């Protein structure tokens, strides 16, 4: 940003000195205008190829009867109109029912996970604002889950959650004596909580990092002034920290929401191809519908519906939060 603002101001002085006059200056000025677009072009082309084209292909597939008979040449698959969508949305039949259940599970899961990530991240960032011995070490430690490769981290969790040989049951049941018998974490109802624990463990360092960056931007003297006026720590957090973090939080919550709602890696590594019903997040559910039962058409329709839902939620969210911010700014 600063660079583009600085260069035009410096350039004319150079140009005036060159012989050739205004025409060259204008032409190079035009080029100068085109430059940012040219530089954006590679990204644009790749974005088109990597995101837009597959997305459109996916949408096209959702209107086709795409099974193993046609995957070799999916364009030749017969059109099925809205059949795939009606199968996905028929909540009286098994496919629709399980999609709805998976969707509701994902909503619940996302709300809890994002809420906890935000709470933990913010609390840690606020606590680490003050300078004290060991702060650097703690900051680094907190970022470890964020730095670890997802697969390695989650597979370790899967080992820890094993019923008979896992660390979790060893601590909870053997050492603390909770429960009559060791609990199952990777199958059955508890799997929801196991997945939530891993998701929060994996997600909160990002919230921590973002909030910490946001905190750096709040001028110190605001706190000093507030302290002079007699505001305690809680009042400072409520009236200075949180309102100043609003723009940061707005992005943070949205990003966490989208990541968590679409999370595929965590349940896939934790549970394998078939997640337990209680922890059947929608991404894995769609994967299973497409790649495990080879209903690629229905899977595409489910993806299209998910995309629509996420666009809608994001749109409404942005509308509400930006409007809210403008009025509060006034």
- By C-beta, is 199 or 289 nearer to other proteins? 289
Q: Is 295 in the site for other proteins (CB under 8 A)?
A: yes
Q: In degrees rounded to 5, what are phi and psi of residue 48? A: -60, -45
Q: Is 19 in the site for other proteins (CB under 8 A)?
A: no
Q: Is 41 in the site for other proteins (CB under 8 A)?
A: yes
Q: Taking the complex as a whole, how short is the minimal distance between the CB of residue 65 and other proteins, in angstroms?
A: 9
Per-residue HEC secondary structure of the chain comes to CHHHHHHHHHHHHHHHHCCCHHHHHHHHHHHHHHHHHHHHHHHHHHHHHHHHHHHHHHHHHCCECCCCCCHHHHHHCCECCCHHHHHHHCCCCHHHHHHHHHHHHHHHHHHHHHHHHHHHHHHHHHHCCCCCCCHHHHHHHHHHHHHCCHHHHHHHHHHHCCCCCCHHHHHHHHHCCCCCCCCCCCCCCCHHHHHHHHHHHHHHHHHHHHHHHHHHCCCHHHHHHHHHCCCCHHHHHHHHHHHHHHHHHHHHHHHHHHHHHCCCHHHHHHHCCCCCHHHCCHHHHHHHHHHHCCCHHHHHHHHHHHHHHHHHHHHHHHHHHHHHHHHHHC
Q: Taking the complex as a whole, how short is the minimal distance between the CB of residue 309 and other proteins, in angstroms?
A: 22
- By C-beta, is 178 or 227 nearer to other proteins? 178
Q: Taking the complex as a whole, how short is the minimal distance between the CB of residue 308 and other proteins, in angstroms?
A: 23
Q: Is 277 in the site for other proteins (CB under 8 A)?
A: yes
Q: Is 273 in the site for other proteins (CB under 8 A)?
A: yes
- Within 202-221, the residues that bind other proteins by CB under 8 A are none
Tokens (6 digits) for 150: 């997802």
Tokens (6 digits) for 141: 């430690």
- By C-beta, is 14 or 137 nearer to other proteins? 14
Contact stretch for other proteins (CB under 8 A) within 39-47, 102-110, 121-129, 300-308: 39-47
**Binding track, positions 60-99, relative to other proteins; x by CB under 8 A:** -------xxx-xx-x------------x-----xxx--x-
Q: Is 139 in the site for other proteins (CB under 8 A)?
A: no
Contact stretch for other proteins (CB under 8 A) within 40-48, 121-129, 257-265, 315-323: 40-48
Q: Is 38 in the site for other proteins (CB under 8 A)?
A: yes
Among 45, 52, 213, 225, binds other proteins (CB under 8 A): 45
Binding site for other proteins (CB under 8 A): 28, 31, 35, 38-39, 41-43, 45-46, 49, 67-69, 71-72, 74, 87, 93-95, 98, 162-164, 181-182, 184, 186-189, 272-274, 276-277, 288-289, 291-295
């Amino acid at each position: 940003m600063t660079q583009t603002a600085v260069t035009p101001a410096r350039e004319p002085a150079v140009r005036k000195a060159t012989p050739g006059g205004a025409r060259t200056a204008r032409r190079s000025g035009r080029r100068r205008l085109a430059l940012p677009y040219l530089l954006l072009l590679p990204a644009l082309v790749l974005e088109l190829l990597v995101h837009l084209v597959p997305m459109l292909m996916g949408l096209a597939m959702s209107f086709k009867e795409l099974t193993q008979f046609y995957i070799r040449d999916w364009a030749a698959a017969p059109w099925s109109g809205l059949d795939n969508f009606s199968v996905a949305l028929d909540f009286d039949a098994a496919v629709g029912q399980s999609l709805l259940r998976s969707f509701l599970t994902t909503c619940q899961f996302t709300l809890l996970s994002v809420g906890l990530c935000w709470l933990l991240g913010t609390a840690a960032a606020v606590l680490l604002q003050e300078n004290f011995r060991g702060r650097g070490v703690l900051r680094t430690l907190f970022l470890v889950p964020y730095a670890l490769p997802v697969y390695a981290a989650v597979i370790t969790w899967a080992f820890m959650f094993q019923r008979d040989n896992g660390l979790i049951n060893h601590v909870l049941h053997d050492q603390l004596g909770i429960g009559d018998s060791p609990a199952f974490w990777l199958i059955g109802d508890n799997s929801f909580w196991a997945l939530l624990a891993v998701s929060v463990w994996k997600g909160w360092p990002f919230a921590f990092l973002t909030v910490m960056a946001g905190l750096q931007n709040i001028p110190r003297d605001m706190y000093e002034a507030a302290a002079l006026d007699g505001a305690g720590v809680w009042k400072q957090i409520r009236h200075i920290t949180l309102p100043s973090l609003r723009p940061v939080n707005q992005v943070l919550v949205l990003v966490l929401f989208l990541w968590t709602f679409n999370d595929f890696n965590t349940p896939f590594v934790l549970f394998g191809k078939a997640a337990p019903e209680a922890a059947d997040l929608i991404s894995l559910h769609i994967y299973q519908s497409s790649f495990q039962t080879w209903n690629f058409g229905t899977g595409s329709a489910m993806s299209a519906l998910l995309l629509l839902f996420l666009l809608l939620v994001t749109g409404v969210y942005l509308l509400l939060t930006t409007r809210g911010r403008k009025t509060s700014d006034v």
